[in-house]
Chain A
Amino acid sequence: MSIIPLFIAIPLGAAFLVSLFGRRIKILPDLLANLCTASLGILSLLSVGIVREHGMLVYKIGSWAPPVGISLVLDGLTCFMLVTVNIIAFFITLYSISYMARYTAKWKFYTLFLLMLAGMNGVIATGDIFNLYVFLEIAAIASYALVAFGIEHEELEASFKYAVMGTLASSFILLGIIFLYSYTSTLNMADMSNVLLAKGPGKIVGFVVPLFILGFGLKAAIMPFHAWLPDAHPSAPAPISAMLSGLLIKVLGIYALMRIFFNVLGVSQNTYFVLMILGVISMTLGAFLAIGQHDIKRMLAYSSVSQIGYIMLGIGIATPMAIAGALFHLFNHATFKSLLFLNSGAIEYSTGTRDLKKMGGLNSHMPVTGATSLIGSMSISGMPPLSGFWSKLIIILAAVQAEYYAMAAIAASVSIITLAYYLKLQKEAFFGTLGEGLEKVKEAPLTMKLAMIALAAICIAGGLLLLPQVFDLFINSAAKVLSAGNGYAKIVFGSIR
């Protein structure tokens, strides 16, 4: 029953402990961070079972009942996101044991990392709109600092750009929250949706929706607002790139957008159409920009923009099937994009370069990295047995079903472009002749290999999520929450009593 606050309390406590003792005891940061994320992963898996049993749980902080007090909500969508975030975070901490050994202040890295994790879990679990903003800022501030972690020229520049954009986005979100509060005089999301239903949406929703699209769009790096992402994500250390690209943009951008638009505002068809158009634009342009890149991490970053487009398209179609597809793709993208960034980190760790032109033939020296990267690439470009294929298939089928034939055609063709640039990556990095000065390259250390293999296994097994029982339990229960729309409020208040 009371596991929900633990998702926030454990990483916060671990972060403070690391910053308190981490400087003196060298092994503590690694140990504590891994323990923390492992326990979070187990807890999040447990929460799936709890949700199946009870439906929805509302936790009253300090036993103040909502709408007065702050509430934490555990429903299908929440536990879906929690599982995604915490499991991948665990593999990333496992990876960073060896990777971060190059940097001096490892405990600082873990403190910020755990703070970011706490912020993300908070955003997911909270049922209060201002609390959502606070946790969003915690995660965002930690990520600004993490992007600048290397304090070199590029990192600082990227971090400054990212911080300015991020702060601007937060201001827009806060402005939207203020207008909503002034109209509904409540901050609890369920209560807010009730009031909006009773009073009628009025003009305020029309005013707030663009603010939220702007704010969360900047956080999620949808196409017109994507400019910071290809700078910020490659500049960070590889585990952080994986964390930012795999999880942060989804939690801060997509999840918050979905939660507010579907469950609180219940926005109109036109808004969904706008989301769909934005999704298609970012899908196409992101893919085209990715082809021209030579920096491996930059290519992956543009590919993130493109894949976020798929998710937005699924959300914009807004039929139950499309939402399920979008959520499935969100999970898949989190796994394979983290995997690919970790691969790029392993390459950088061993060869010291990120330039595709200087690589080549790495397969003979780094077999594990090569194989896992191949799986990740094929999965993201939608090769049939792998997980990426199924989620894209669902989104495209849903588009056809909703009679958006053009969108479906674009989505299918972008998938081919994706295949093209990932084949380019594979060819230039892992196949062909060995690049100059790469004769002595060694495979990455053990923990890095373990993390990559585990993520690759999830990519392969991702298709299994389509089995009816698992699908109902995991993805459909999340999609149901979203398609319930304003019914969310009724369920939340129903489960309090």
Chain B
Amino acid sequence: MKKTSKRGPREPGMTLIVKTITRLTVGLIFLYGVYIVVHGHLTPGGGFAGGLIIALSFIHLMLAFGKDLALKKFSKAAASIFESLGGILFLTIALLGFTGGYFFLNFIRKGRPFDLFSAGIIPLCNIAISLKVGAGLFAIFIALVFLQILKKEE
């Protein structure tokens, strides 16, 4: 954020080189995060790691283009809503297990091992966790950065 003030208010964010590279890579990073989430039951990684990468892609955007653009894409309120949604989704999956008689029961057919659509509720849980972690981490980042900005303005 320091660079912003030096270069004048018209061009927030870093230099053109950084912006261009970011424009190219940010989508890839996001997709990679999604890949890790949906393959969480087959390969290392899963909801937490994938969610981290998704959050990092937004943080990347914010670092390169300044806070306004990143927040336009994903605002603070949206972050907290997504976080709560992730939590509720996870809990709902757990509670749906009651239909089979047990909390957290894996009630969907398990499918064949090593298929993308297998392992019952585990991929769904991973998606819920990734929502929670991604949104939560981004919210933490925003909260810490905004505190700094508020202080400077005072």
Contact = CB atoms under 8 A, between A and B. Distances in A.
B85 A20 contact: yes
Contact of A63 (B80, B91, B95, B101): B101
A9 interface: yes
Interface string A199-233: 00000000000000000000000000000000000
Contacts of A63: 100-102, 105
A104 interface: no
B105 A62 contact: yes
A13 B88 contact: yes
Contacts of B94: 5, 9
B91 A9 contact: yes
B84 interface: yes
Nearest to B98: A2
Contacts of B105: 62-63
Contacts of A2: 98, 101-103
Given A9-B94, A62-B97, A17 B88 contact: yes
Contacts of A19: 80, 83-84
A19 B84 CA distance: 7
Contact of B87 (A16, A60, A61): A16
Contacts of B101: 2, 63
Interface string A271-284: 00000000000000
Contacts of A13: 88, 91, 95
B106 A62 contact: yes
A143 B129 CA distance: 23
B82 to A, nearest CB: 10
Given A13-B91, A16-B91, A62-B97, A5 B84 contact: no
B137 to A, nearest CB: 15
B81 interface: yes
A59 interface: yes
Interface string A323-364: 000000000000000000000000000000000000000000
Contacts of B80: 19
A12 interface: yes
B104 interface: yes
A20 B98 CA distance: 24
B134 to A, nearest CB: 16
A16 B103 contact: no
Interface in A1-32: 2, 5, 9, 12-13, 15-17, 19-20
Interface in B57-102: 80-81, 83-85, 87-88, 91, 94-95, 97-98, 100-102
Q: How large is the interface on B (under 10, 10 to 19, 20 to 34, 35 or more residues)?
A: 10 to 19
Consensus secondary structure, chain A interface:
helix
B95 A61 contact: no
A16 B102 contact: no
Given A2-B98, A19-B80, A20-B81, A9 B103 contact: yes
A253 B105 CA distance: 31
A60 B100 CA distance: 13
Contacts of B83: 19
Contacts of B95: 9, 13
Nearest to A16: B87
Contact of B102 (A9, A15, A17, A62): A62
A2 B95 CA distance: 11
B104 A62 contact: yes
A15 B80 CA distance: 13
A63 B94 CA distance: 12
Contact of A20 (B88, B97, B102, B103): B88
Contacts of B84: 16-17, 19-20
Contacts of B81: 20
Nearest to B121: A62
Contacts of A20: 81, 84-85, 88
Nearest to A4: B103
Nearest to B83: A19
Contacts of A61: 102-104
A216 to B, nearest CB: 28
A20 B95 CA distance: 19
A59 B104 CA distance: 11
A136 B98 CA distance: 25
Contacts of B91: 9, 12-13, 16
Nearest to A20: B84
A157 to B, nearest CB: 17
A15 B132 CA distance: 14
Interface in B97-134: 97-98, 100-106
A230 B98 CA distance: 44
Interface string A50-92: 0000000001111100000000000000000000000000000
Contacts of B100: 63
B97 A12 contact: no
Contacts of B103: 2, 5, 9, 59, 61-62
Nearest to B107: A62
Interface of A: 2, 5, 9, 12-13, 15-17, 19-20, 59-63
Counting from the closest, the 3 A-B pairs by CB-CB distance are: A5-B103, A62-B104, A20-B84
Given A12-B87, A13-B88, 10 more contacts: A2-B101, A2-B103, A5-B94, A9-B103, A13-B91, A16-B87, A17-B84, A62-B105, A63-B100, A63-B101
27 contacts: A2-B98, A2-B101, A2-B102, A5-B94, A5-B103, A5-B104, A12-B91, A13-B91, A13-B95, A16-B87, A16-B91, A17-B88, A19-B80, A19-B84, A20-B81, A20-B85, A20-B88, A59-B103, A60-B102, A61-B102, A61-B103, A61-B104, A62-B102, A62-B105, A62-B106, A63-B100, A63-B105
